[in-house]
Amino acid sequence: MKAKSTAISALQERVFIILKGKKLFLQSTKLSVKELKDAIYVSNALRNWFDVAKDYASFVDDFSGYKPNPIPDWAYEPVYCSWYPYEDNINEKIIWENARIAKEVGIGTFLIDAGWNTERRGEWSWIDGRYGDYIPCSSKFPDFKGLIKRMQRELGLKVEVWFAPFWLGSESETYKKGLKEARCKVLEGGERVDNINLCPQNPLTIKRIEEIVRYFFEELGVDGVWVDFVDSLPWECSAQHEHIYQTIGEGATACLERLYKTAISIRPDAVIEYRIFHGNLNTKRFLNVQETTDTPHNYDDNRRLGVYVRAFAKGVVVKTDPTMWSAKCPPEEVAKHCATMIMGGVPAFSLDLPSLPQSHLKILSAYLSFYKKHRDALLKGNFRPLTALPSFPINIIEVRESFLYIGYEAVPPITIPDGCEELYIFNCTERDTLSFPFKGMEKFKKMVVYNEYLEEIKESTLSPKESLFSVSVPIGGMVRLTR
Ligand SMILES: [Zn+2]
């Protein structure tokens, strides 16, 4: 945030002190890593909110002694997720058929989402459901371990499984066999009411989480886990059972640390993935991939959340929520999904692949090839939103190879830095023409236009005096400018 220096001076006189340069904290905080206290971060630097948010995140990282976790190379592989087209109605046939096509189009990681461990009963979040055992459902997966091994060995995929570490439904065997007493209770109208979550403050919970993670990596042989619904924990627990941690937050932090350390001790190149609500500046010590959150059908929302995540995600891999579309989706819209994904971080898809027409697979394959070829530049270049519009429809990634995403017709003047040798511009608008003032356009000599299949359709030479970029580009297509 920005504030005028006079306002800051006034605040300083009352409740603020300067700790470091232009960063101010409430005097009462006396910052300590062992205590939780409210503070307000203020910057009077003339920078946009995205850079200030990144500065704030770096300040907290430095203060808390954050050190990034190892990131295996496979964490950057495009991801397939089974959730949106099938929800918990998955089985061995569905997973294998999708895995086979996923591999063909360029996916490297396959996430088997919720439903691998229970029958389909629509019970996936029910307190009296069967979640919590994390044993493969034999009627749907007669040989789950064998399936994972085949996906790894025959298809060369990395395999992750979904789990919600604290959930324990009352129909689960784990609940019946003794963990009943470890569940949280919350106060409602003066009554203690059961909650679906194991209590993070109770000593049985941290042991149970370690047991599940050991089973995943040692028995099932998975490569990574997708950690879900930590954000469903209650604010406090009123159960009359033992608490070895003072608060839900302290207990949850200890459990997540155990989860991460157990996984890494068994698989040093494991991927541990959270989504936005429980992946934050506190918990990023215990993960290496950070996702947005559920935005099915809506890549605009996915992109918006991705920009927020990027601001706070130094040291971790940013991944988008898997995007989805149906077999009836027009090709240009499929291409816009794909362009949005590759500009958002590690691209992820949740599709009924066997039902899609060849045209869709061709577009997906082309965009994933593009992603792989330019992966380092896309993920490690300097990402900036170029407008303050809430959906961040115009973004750039700057490095020697730069990438400009345009999802809105009113484009502000674009300035390309001197070091940029090549510029790729994605047309994700509703129109087949891109037009905007372009400072530095004279640096580029050649232009190639691609359609939504990323096939070259036109090549031309640029005039050195041009300063307005105005080019016909198919919707979902791309332009490449070179010097
Ligand atoms: Zn408790």
Return contacts of 210-213, CB within 8 angstroms, 24+ apart: 210/258, 210/259, 210/262, 212/134, 212/163, 212/165, 213/259, 213/262, 213/263, 213/266
Distance (Å) from CA 459 to ligand 1 centroid: 66
What is the 184 CA–ligand 1 centroid distance (Å)? 5
What is the distance between the alpha carbons of residues 190 and 193, in angstroms, rounded to a whole number? 9
What are the pLDDT tens digits along the chain (483 aa)? 333 443 443 333 223 344 445 555 544 444 555 656 566 777 777 888 899 899 889 988 988 899 999 999 999 999 999 999 999 999 999 999 999 999 999 999 999 999 999 887 766 667 888 889 999 999 999 999 999 999 999 999 999 999 999 999 998 999 999 899 999 999 999 999 999 999 999 999 999 999 999 999 999 999 999 999 999 999 999 999 999 999 999 999 999 999 999 999 999 999 999 999 899 999 999 999 999 999 988 999 999 999 999 999 999 999 999 999 999 999 999 999 999 999 999 999 999 999 999 999 999 999 999 999 999 999 999 999 998 888 899 999 999 999 999 999 888 899 988 889 999 999 999 999 999 999 888 889 999 999 999 999 999 998 777 788 999 999 999 999 999
Q: Provide the β-strand partners of residue 197.
A: 167
**DSSP-derived secondary structure letter, 198:** E
Q: CA–CA separation, 243 vs 64, rounded Å?
A: 25
Q: Residue 200 in contact with residue 254, Cβ under 8 Å?
A: yes
- Looking at the DSSP bridge assignments, the partners of residue 471 are 434
Q: What is the CA radius of gyration of the chain?
A: 24
333-353 confidence digits (pLDDT tens)? 999 999 999 999 999 999 999
**Closest CA relative to residue 310, chosen from 300, 301, 320:** 320
Task: Read off the pTM.
Answer: 0.92
CA of 218 to the centre of ligand 1 (A): 29
CATH 3.40.50.150 is the classification of domain 73-379: no
Burial class (CB in 10 A: 0-12, 13-18, 19+), 157: buried
Q: What distance in angstroms lies between residue 169's CA and the mean position of ligand 1's atoms? A: 16
Ligand 1 centroid, distance to 291 Cα (angstroms): 29
Query: What is the domain partition of the chain in residue ranges?
Result: 5-64, 73-379, 382-482
Q: Are 148 and 220 in contact (CB under 8 A)?
A: yes
278 CA distance to ligand 1 centroid (A)?
A: 19
What's the gap in Å between 53 CA and the centre of ligand 1? 35
Among candidates 127, 201, 119, which has minimal Cα distance to 164?
127
Ligand 1 centroid from CA 211, angstroms: 19
Distance from residue 183's CA to the centre of ligand 1 (Å): 7
Three-class secondary structure of residue 413 per DSSP: coil
pLDDT at 3 (0 to 100): 38
From the CA of 185, how far away is ligand 1's center (Å)?
Answer: 7
The rounded distance, in Å, linking the Cα atoms of 99 and 109 is 9
